[in-house]
Amino acid sequence: MLVYALVLLALLLLSAFFSSAETAFLSMQRIQLEHRVRAGVPGAAAIVRLLDRPHRLLSAVRLGRQLTNAGVAVTGAVIALALLPRGWGALGATVVVTMLLVLFGEVVPKAIALGHSFAIGRLWAIPMAVWTRITWPVTFALDGLTRLLLRVFGNPEAISPVTLDVAELRTAIRLGVESGAIEVNASNRLIGAITLQQRQVQEIMTPRTEMVLAGVGEPLRDVAARLAQYGFQRMPVYEGSPDEIVGYVHVGDVNVSHLGGIEQRSVRDIMRPAVFESEHSPIARVLAVMQERASYLVLLVDEFGTTSGLVTLEDIMEEVVGTLRSESMEGGAEAVSGKRAARDGRRLEVEGSRLLVDLSLELDVDVTQVDANTVAGLVLYYTRRFPEPGESVDHKGCRFTVLEADERRVRRVAVERLGHDGMRADTR
């Protein structure tokens, strides 16, 4: 009887081994494992090798559990029949074996493995690798059958590698902020960087109506004065019509030529070639074009080839690191390009060209669920006309009040939280 008791104990330990291994391996996050592998943490590489074939690993674990549980049932039945009165052996064996398996073969080992998944996984990695090799013929057949059944039932994604899309990355970053692992400013930079491929450059461009241009034959003296007036580093150059952009000038070239006393030179003499890109291009692509062409300014065209706006490297960088301060402005004031905001208590005053994505981050309210990209577009979406100053619309628990507007543009808007979300949008 002592031999049977020792066999039962050994089988329960094996059952605990397989149960804890299953929980430990399957509860570990692949990203954390890859990080540990690159950091050289001992045992991480062995775990990754096992998880590279998850179905084969799962088949080996389940096979081991079934064999050990069957052994526990048989051994427990033999012991119960020998110790309990006649007629009570079967019932006693069922109750005792079930309690032992649930407690020592399932609940306790899985709870321990769930709380110490990497430590348990590192401990069991080599024994599990040996077990998968021993049971290779059986697990190979089970793995192939599993893949076949998954395809038959229309779930091929279940056997594809685990990846994270942009939305999941944003959620992971927000969870990092909530846990204190990532600072708020750092999270905004991370989100800005990973969304460059998804967002179109027209969302951050300076519209054609707000561009300051120089004529191709204009004296450098006038261009230098205009650059100093607006604090710009670059200025597009047109020939004939403002829609015919042929290049741009840089403030450094203008100042060198102007201050050098060569006042007879025109813009054409120092003009740099223009770089064009579609307004629908991803921001990441435009950034790559800037790097390839060594140009910090890209002109954007619509589907008809008409200039619709421009974007600079500073515009793209602001989407990642936040608003940049201009050295040319006294006291480091923020450059005004539709991105300046002023707070007055609960009110936030923004330019009409302020992106709803950026405003959502500042308000901590998602106001992007509307067919518009900017604050002005949101107001026009509800009013269906150019509003008068003082008119307001409500959207997602925020009130947007027009401060400045004309017959062509909503220039400035005040945004105020109403204290509750989901309020029906209307106009006043």
pLDDT tens-place string over residues 12-45: 899 999 999 988 888 887 777 888 888 888 888 8
Residue 108 lies in a domain: yes
* Whether residue 23 is found in the same domain as residue 133: yes
Q: 236-282: per-residue pLDDT in tens?
A: 999 988 888 999 998 888 877 666 555 566 788 888 998 999 999 99
* Whether residue 347 is found in the same domain as residue 327: no
In this predicted model, which residue has the larger pLDDT, 193 or 87? 193
* Whether residue 182 is found in the same domain as residue 243: no
* Whether residue 245 is found in the same domain as residue 369: no
Q: Which of 296, 311, 332 is the last residue of a domain?
A: 332
Residues 6 or more apart whose CB falls under 8 angstroms from that of 99 comprise: none
* Whether residue 145 is found in the same domain as residue 9: yes
Residue 207 lies in a domain: yes
* Whether residue 12 is found in the same domain as residue 147: yes
* Whether residue 190 is found in the same domain as residue 205: no
**What is the domain extent for residue 397?**
341-417
* Whether residue 305 is found in the same domain as residue 355: no
Judging by beta carbons within 10 Å of its beta carbon (0-12, 13-18, 19+), is residue 105 exposed, middle or buried? buried
Residue 422 lies in a domain: no
Angstrom distance (rounded) from CA 187 to CA 241 = 44
Residue 426 lies in a domain: no
* Whether residue 358 is found in the same domain as residue 313: no
Q: 332-384: per-residue pLDDT in tens?
A: 333 333 344 444 446 788 988 888 877 887 787 888 888 888 899 999 999 98
Residue 375 lies in a domain: yes
* Whether residue 124 is found in the same domain as residue 51: yes
Provide the CATH number for the domain around residue 306.
3.10.580.10
Residue 209 lies in a domain: yes
Provide the CATH number for the domain around residue 378.
3.30.465.10
Least confident of 145-149, 184-188, 313-317: 184-188
Residue 157 has pLDDT above 80, yes or no: no
Residue 424 lies in a domain: no
Three-state DSSP class for 393? strand
* Whether residue 311 is found in the same domain as residue 396: no
What confidence score (pLDDT) does residue 256 get? Answer: 74
* Whether residue 137 is found in the same domain as residue 258: no
Q: What is the mean pLDDT of the chain?
A: 80
Structural domain count of the chain = 4
Angstrom distance (rounded) from CA 2 to CA 49 = 40
Residue 426 has pLDDT above 50, yes or no: no
Q: Which of 280, 302, 332 is the last residue of a domain?
A: 332
Three-state DSSP class for 239? strand
Q: Which of 284, 311, 332 is the last residue of a domain?
A: 332
Residue 224 lies in a domain: yes
End-to-end CA distance of the chain: 89
